[in-house]
Structure 1
Amino acid sequence: MTLALPAGIERPRPARLTAGLVLLALLAAAVWALVDLKINFATLADSAGNAIAFGKRMFPLDFPAIPELLALCGQTLAIMVCATVLSVLLSIPLALLAALNTTPNRATRGAARAVIVLARAAPDVVLAIVAFRVFGLGGLTGVLAMGLHSVGMVGKLYADAIEHIDPGPRAAIRATGAGKWQELTAGVLAQVLPSFVATALHRLDINLRVSVVLGFVGVDGIGYAIANAFERLDYHRGMALALVVLCLCVLIELISGTIRRALLGTARRTGTPRAIPGLARQPWTFARVRRAGYAVLTLAVILISVPGAGISLAQLGNGFGKLFGVLGEFLPPATAGMAGQLLGALLVTVQIALAGTLLGLVLAIPIGALAARTVAPTPRTARVFRAILVLVRGIPELVLAIVFVVVTGLGPVAGTLALGIGSVGLLGKLVADSLEELDEGPARAVRATGASRWQVFWAATVPCAIPALIAHVLYQLDVNIRSATLLGIVGAGGIGFYLLSAAQVLQFGVVTTIVLVMLAVVLAVEALAVWLRRVLS
């Protein structure tokens, strides 16, 4: 006998029920990871003495001389600018080939999407190791490693932006008899230009933090100086340089955020598809002058960054001659008799990512809610918590991992705590942005009944925000699996330790094996996230 549901209540679809069970399984796995890794108050309490001792060993901070500090900052900024430019130049044609509305051929689209996915899945540290073998020490290694890895994110977002353009302007340009190139530039690229610039600026923020990680594998700049300081156990100098990186991250984020808001705000007000094709006939308004100023400034920064990064055409040419020989060193994949150890370390890496994501979520929800202007009790509260998120997001996770390794000792506890705090910055920002973008209708309706602020939050805001929150958590888990791999480089547990050790003893076949197993995990998590978002949307 089939039971009838009350009127107005739909029977849940089997796919939604399955998705709910999968989410519960992920939550259970994250809780299990916290318990199995011994992440608890007792562990933190036992480490309190080490934290106090580390604080004494860290102060007073020892900053380099001003000329040396400016040189380190200048070289780091130049490398990350060149890497970001390289990723943009590679991503634009890849995105056009990967987008459904610009490339009808399914095989071509699939190949372009595969390249983007592979770039995103390949750890930037591994790309740096390969580039180091080919081109040697120097800024060129960092530019290529960061640039190629950035294609994974930049290319995907560019392709998504192209697929969501308004087809009207493109059809109108085609109707005038314009050629393919004119249709592409005026009808497609003109519409996505603000989004492209915003994505590039966002990647610039990320690459500054990545440069610290690459410093541990020999890439020049402030990250290399931090690595040398911590290797000498010189915490006075290492933490001083980490503070400089934090200030640079906050500064770059504030500048890029201002530019992004200006560009996207102008696009919304004026309508980019209509304004850009006729740019030559537009009056020189303040908005147009500002855009032109940004373009000139960007070009000047790029021209200065190329020599500042130490890019040499001769080094580039000589390196390409050795490329295929170096790639041959990484084949075939091998385990060096450590298959069991590698699988165990892989499990620990996944545990660190799950536990770190759960910790980050628990902290990010209240902080992100208070950072949302539509939820915070006062505008000042929202600004304060936004500033907290910016500061947390500016701290490189590798630096956090080093601090926790000193405080809690070598192992996955340090990696989990580092990822947990690091997740707060990104996840809290995504939570705040999602809450601010929600339709205010349900909240106004509940508020009209005389409900309190908390009742409105739990009865109207939270239910509407749950789908976006699930998507953000899955994205953070994806990011944390990649990050957990890298934290092992400094002894924070997981498979990253074996990755760096294999590279140091020239067992490049083992490096390839580790990359392949991590690629399989990353692709599985990404496929699961795509399926869950599709079912729950």
Structure 2
Amino acid sequence: MTVTELRPDPGPGPTVPRPSGPGAAVVLVLLGLLAAAVWATAELRLNVATLVDSVGNAADFLSRTVPLDFPPLGEVLALSAQTLAIVVCATLLAVLVSLPVAVLAAANTTPGRSVRYGARAVVVVARAVPDVVLAIVFFRLFGLGGLAGVLAMGLHSVGMVGKLYADAIEQIDEGPRTAVRSTGARRWQELVSGVLPQVLPALVATALHRFDINLRISVLLGFVGVGGLGFEIATALRRLDYQRGMALALIVLVLCIGAELLSGAVRRALLGAGDDGARAPGPLGRRLGRVRAELRREPGAGTGTRPRILAPDTTIPPWSPRRLRGAGYALLTGVVVLASLWGADLAPWQAFAGLAGAVDTLGLFWPPSVGGILPELLAELVVTVQIALAATLIGAVLALPVGCLAARNVAPARWVSTAFRSVVVLVRGLPELVLAIVFVVITGLGPVAGALALSIGAVGLLGKLVADSLEETDVRVQQAVRAAGASRLQVFTAVTLPQAAPAFVAHLLYQLDVNIRSATLLGVVGAGGIGFYLLNASRVLEYGVVTTVMMMIFAVVMLVELLAVWLRRRVA
């Protein structure tokens, strides 16, 4: 009798799988992050007592703000136009730089692995270097004006836009691209005809989303010299003129909400969305379908013709109403871009003069220096991380119920989801910097103001991501459980929530990543963290300290980025 024969028969019943090593590691890391967030919240003394003690300051701030002091209408329009022009130019620069970077960074279009890693490194570095640091460098190079703001926002945006563009390129259908290649097309023709039509909807949606973000960032850059509404807000608040400062902030809020609604409407018009949230083809989607259908045809098949878009004897299509509308949209876009280039006051001669002295100017930032305040820098770096952790925890507690009620497949009624979607849009329109200024006045200088501002800001971003994730769950499983007699709450807790849980974890990690960067920048207005030292170092021309602070921020951001990537791969 063998040893195998002596073993008991386990039978056909189910066996309990043992927890895997990576799964246990993920749980431990997540518990560690939760413990760190709780510790940070307690260390910063973020509690109800702190808010109650600040009620008197809030009432005093409100009395010093009302009535709001709006500038004359002509001045408001001029400042708004200048701000929008700078934001449009920055977003356009980000798109133009991100497209070639994304082609080189995508695994299916890059010419080699080393080139791909280099392009991905460019994307990561662009995300990790704060836009305020870039603005300080460019102001030193080119002086005051819109050019520094456009370069700072545009190059920093490459980190996000380039990554999303590369991801979109990697997810294309290879069939049309293969069909284009079979016609003997060159590499650039293959990209233009086989890749670009497929990713065009994603390119447009990402550019519009980045425009929203850059509009909020422009307020922050006003505190380091970028013109427009942000600069005027900074000037008013330095004079403690809260009536004018908050009036201008309200104008920014209206612009941000308008940009959010307009970009959403454009995305829906281009990409299409049904009433039930399902995707329905819009103009770009229908065109993409036609292109795919044509490219999938084998050369010489059927009628014996080659794919129309690459045939040597291709003729110009007739001017149909659809083509006229497309030409109108293109013309309108061109007019907006040209008006923005003029309104941003970029001053090309200023750029040439700055480039002539670029070596000497950049030499001011090297070598790094601690300025005799290394212990203070390290302590404030820890405070910055604490602000981000506490804000992520509080923001998650606030955003999860809001996001759940904003999801159409979870909310008890359609009007409920519409109302909470409106709350999300309203909160997303509030620039964190304006919130930080308000909380600085109410709670005083320090990290409490920064953490509260980022917590409120998280409701907009995290609430939207949570709602979208819940709406993307498999409704067929939910309907089956509901048909078995389960209540709405039981369906949510037993089916919907478990399906969306991995996405929730990824969203929380992304929010932490965003809060690390934002916590650094809010220190510019006294909301705690290392950003305060960054701004002071630039004001007293200690550029070596600016470089040191930038390197410290970069190291922390990269660690968070690597941790987030590792966790997302294991919870997806």
TM-score bracket relative to the smaller structure: over 0.9
Match of 2:58 in 1: 51
2:66 maps to 1:31:
no
Assess, with a 3 A threshold, how the Cα gap between structure 1 residues 526 and 457 changes in structure 2: closer, same or farther: same
Query: Which residue does 1:528 correspond to in 2?
Result: 563
> Aligned partners of 1:276 and 1:435: how far apart in 2?
36
**Match of residue 207, structure 2, among 200, 204, 207:** 200
Do the aligned partners of 1:190 and 1:276 also contact (CA within 8 Å) in 2? Answer: no
Which of 459, 469, 487 pairs up with 1:434?
Answer: 469
Correspondence for 1:459:
494
Which of 78, 81, 88 is matched with 1:74 structurally? 81
TM-score under structure 1 normalisation? 0.97
Shift of 1:441: 2.5
Q: Which residue of 1 aligns with 2:127?
A: 120
Which of 358, 366, 369 aligns to 2:404? It is 369
Cα offset for 1:290?
A: 4.2
Alignment partners' CA distance in 1, 2:490 and 2:327: 48
**Mapped pair 1:234 → 2:241:** yes
After TM superposition, list the pairs within 5 Å mapping 1:430-509 onto structure 2: 430-509=465-544
Please say if residues 94 and 112 of structure 1, whose CA atoms lie closer than 8 Å, have aligned partners that are also in contact.
yes
Deviations 1:454-487 (A, max 9, x none): 1111111111111000000100100000000000
TM-score (norm 2): 0.91
For residues 348-396 of structure 1, what are the alpha-carbon distances to aligned partners after superposition, in whole Å with 9 as ceiling and x for unaligned?
Answer: 0000000001111111111111111111111111111111111100111
Quick one: which of 377, 386, 392 aligns to 1:357?
392
State how far apart, in whole Å, the 2-side matches of 1:444 and 1:529 are.
34
Q: Counterpart in 2 of 1:215? A: 222
CA distance in 1, matches of 2:565, 2:33: 15
Which structure is larger by alpha-carbon Rg, 1 or 2? 2
Letter in 2 for 1:476: Q
Matches of 1:285 and 1:354, distance apart in 2: 55
Aligned-residue CA RMSD in angstroms? Answer: 1.8
Match of 1:294 in 2: 329
The CA distance in 2 between the partners of 1:513 and 1:395, in whole Å, is 31
For the structure 1 residues 412 and 380, does the alpha-carbon distance in structure 2 shift closer, same or farther, using more than 3 Å as the test? same
Counterpart CA distance in 2 for 1:275 and 1:529 is 39
Q: Distance in 1 between matches of 2:401 and 2:40?
A: 23
Could you say which residue in structure 1 is the equivalent of 2:146? 139
Q: Shift of residue 10 of structure 1?
A: 2.1
Whole-Å separation in 1 of the counterparts to 2:565 and 2:339? 41
5 Å-filtered alignment, 1:296-335, equals: 296-335=331-370
CA deviation after TM superposition for structure 1 residue 291, in Å: 3.8
Q: Quick check: 2:380–2:530 contact (8 Å CA) kept in 1?
A: yes
Distance 1:22 1:82, change over 3 A: same
**CA gap 1:477/1:330 in 2 versus in 1, 3 angstroms:** same
Separation in 2, partners of 1:448, 1:281:
55
Distance 1:236 1:263, change over 3 A: same
TM-fit CA distance, 1:284: 6.1
CA distance in 2, matches of 1:491, 1:308: 31
Q: 1:355 to 1:175 in 2, by over 3 A?
A: same
List alignment gaps of at least 5 residues for structure 2.
1-9, 273-281, 296-307, 310-314
Deviation at 1:289, TM superposition (A): 4.6
Change (3 A) 1:290 1:451: farther
Q: Which residue in the other structure is 2:379 paired with?
A: 344
Q: Secondary structure at the match of 2:224?
A: coil
* Number of the residue aligned with 2:292: 274
- Stretches of structure 1 that go unaligned for 5 or more consecutive residues are none
Aligned length: 535
Identify the residue that residue 20 of structure 1 maps to in structure 2.
27
- Residue identity opposite 2:288 in structure 1: G
- Measured in 2, the distance between the counterparts of 1:35 and 1:474 equals 21
Letter of the 1:319 counterpart: G
Q: Distance in 1 between matches of 2:29 and 2:506?
A: 14
Provide the rounded CA distance (Å) in 1 between the counterparts of 2:325 and 2:548: 50
Contact 1:371 1:383 survives alignment (8 Å): yes
| Cα deviation, residue 285, structure 1 | 6.4
* Cα deviation digits, residues 409-437 of structure 1 (max 9, x gap): 00000000000000110000000111111
Contact 2:505–2:571, Cα closer than 8 Å, also in 1: no
Contact 2:131 2:156 in 1 (8 A): yes
Q: By how many angstroms is 1:178 displaced? A: 1.2
SS of the counterpart of 1:169? helix
Contact 1:487 1:493 in 2 (8 A): yes
Q: Distance in 1 between matches of 2:508 and 2:546?
A: 29
Please say if residues 186 and 276 of structure 1, whose CA atoms lie closer than 8 Å, have aligned partners that are also in contact: no
Counterpart CA distance in 2 for 1:282 and 1:376 is: 47
C-alpha separation between the residues in 1 aligned to 2:333 and 2:395? 35
